[in-house]
Structure 1
């Protein structure tokens, strides 16, 4: 056959078969699950990674729709996402948490787009699923680090402010009270100056442990910096609930702590303010609890004061 001759049907068919197998081999080599469907949502093909994700072979998938392959709740999510994509005709990217056939639950990102194969007169959706589990874990870890006091493991000042803002909003809806206890250690500077910063760090960690011991699970304990701590109490109906917590803290702190063979006292002063009794905003709650703290110190330390205007 001359170089100008047209390829015959057999040659063309052979080339198409080779191209088909080449394409399948290429997408099988991609570690991310890849799939493609027609306009009715029936699977036209996929790669091996998608088979592993679903636990089904290509033969079991091809020609089937999501409602035939997945539980109805998940199938409806896929169906709605596909319909939205066809309507928008734009690239679709969204995150989801999915369960693989092996039972593992992973965070993934779907990348989907509409395709058109004009020669075959086929239109549909092609998608890839990227595993972002490690990225989400790292994001969560960094977020927790940003909101956690590195020394004690308590919430830090930023985290405390976030909790306080949300607690204030919940309090407005529930009509119950919200209390803030501001704590300051009475003799921490003496410990740092006389026994060194390692002893001071261990002392602060002991303080944190004792504070966590006296509050409810839902209460928020924070280290604001240095020797300053705070406790947020929600769903308070009476100030005596708050003073009871303050008394428990002082009782815990009345017990000395042994560090590096030294018996050290653990005194504290506590200032208390409550919404709506003493404040009507987060700012005024913090301000008035801080004033109450100075009032407690003025009384001789080792005690608590409820805000007095």
Structure 2
């Protein structure tokens, strides 16, 4: 009958509605489960990131911070929620913003890892040397949608490297430039002199009486003497001159802005005066003098190697004449050239 037909349709619709309701309920349950799992995974990732001791962050294509770890918060001195939603310009000092934005652009242009070393002002008020690494964050369709980065503090490494560079060119005891640096500068000075026609004066200084100090008071007194001499020589060195410790008690002066012989005489006189001053050590006074040999480019020779030889010979000549004095090399470029030929 018509009623039976209608009732059958109603029963069928009711069953479909019940099934739809059940499906909606299952979908809602699934959604709730998925959301809970996502929330759990996010908490896990946040906890995992917070165990990483260096600052780590994630920002979108516009440079807005979306995620970061506790180390990042400590570096900038802010709470996590005050950083999220902000950009580099909002968080870091102006000097950091420029190179950070440049490396961001390189990531987007190349789609590859980018690294940059720079100086960053941390919340402790100090500039830290850092290495920042940035990787592109790519979605399922291959589009770059942001950047994941990390910041490694390399301040200690930089300090160590700086110390190594310093020790490579400086004498550890006196703080003066060392033998390696001396020969490097001498070579450059001679090359410059050949190009410009300028003169270069080399003075070799050997301390008289230094062995007696070591023998009488010991090596500690000897070291104290060398330190004092180094400070005195450095104090009378012009900005464009170089003073080095080239051996045990031997020093070298390299004068690149030499005007005339009288200027060399004046400087040598100052050196002898400083060397003759007593050096206090505990309850004693240590005394030394100096013998100085002087050779001039190009007056004596045009060779850096020969200039060293002539200054050394002149220094021993000063010693033989009674010490505590200076002596100019009397060689000429012609004589040195003839000597090489022989």
Shorter chain as normaliser: what TM range? 0.7 to 0.9
Q: How many residues align?
A: 305
Q: What SS does the corresponding residue of 1:53 show, helix, strand or coil?
A: helix
> Structure 1 residue 97 and structure 2 residue 104: aligned?
no
Whichever of the two has the greater Rg, that structure is: 2
Counterpart residue number, 1:215: 237
Shift of 1:276: 5.0
Q: What SS does the corresponding residue of 2:246 show, helix, strand or coil?
A: strand
In 2, Cα distance between equivalents of 1:120 and 1:85? 14
Shift of 1:278: 4.5
TM alignment of 1:147-166, pairs within 5 A: 147-164=169-186
Alpha carbons 1:186, 1:267 under 8 Å: kept: yes
The TM-score normalised by the length of structure 2 is: 0.74
In 2, Cα distance between equivalents of 1:38 and 1:168? 57
Counterpart residue number, 1:228: 250
Alpha carbons 2:200, 2:256 under 8 Å: kept: yes
Counterpart residue number, 2:57: 35
RMSD of the TM alignment (CA)?
Answer: 3.4
In 1, Cα distance between equivalents of 2:121 and 2:292? 49
> Structure 1 residue 23 and structure 2 residue 40: aligned?
no
> Structure 1 residue 307 and structure 2 residue 325: aligned?
no
Residues 25 and 121 (structure 1), Cα distance of their counterparts in 2 relative to 1, 3 Å cut: farther
> Structure 1 residue 126 and structure 2 residue 148: aligned?
yes
TM alignment of 1:1-150, pairs within 5 A: 8-67=30-89, 69-70=91-92, 73-118=95-140, 123-150=145-172
Gaps of 5+ in 2: 1-25, 332-342
Residues 40 and 306 (structure 1), Cα distance of their counterparts in 2 relative to 1, 3 Å cut: farther
Residues 39 and 275 (structure 1), Cα distance of their counterparts in 2 relative to 1, 3 Å cut: farther
Residues 41 and 177 (structure 1), Cα distance of their counterparts in 2 relative to 1, 3 Å cut: farther
Q: What SS does the corresponding residue of 2:262 show, helix, strand or coil?
A: helix
Shift of 1:100: 1.1
In 2, Cα distance between equivalents of 1:14 and 1:87? 37
Higher relative contact order (CA 8 A, sep 6+): 1
Q: What SS does the corresponding residue of 1:221 show, helix, strand or coil?
A: strand
Counterpart residue number, 1:204: 226
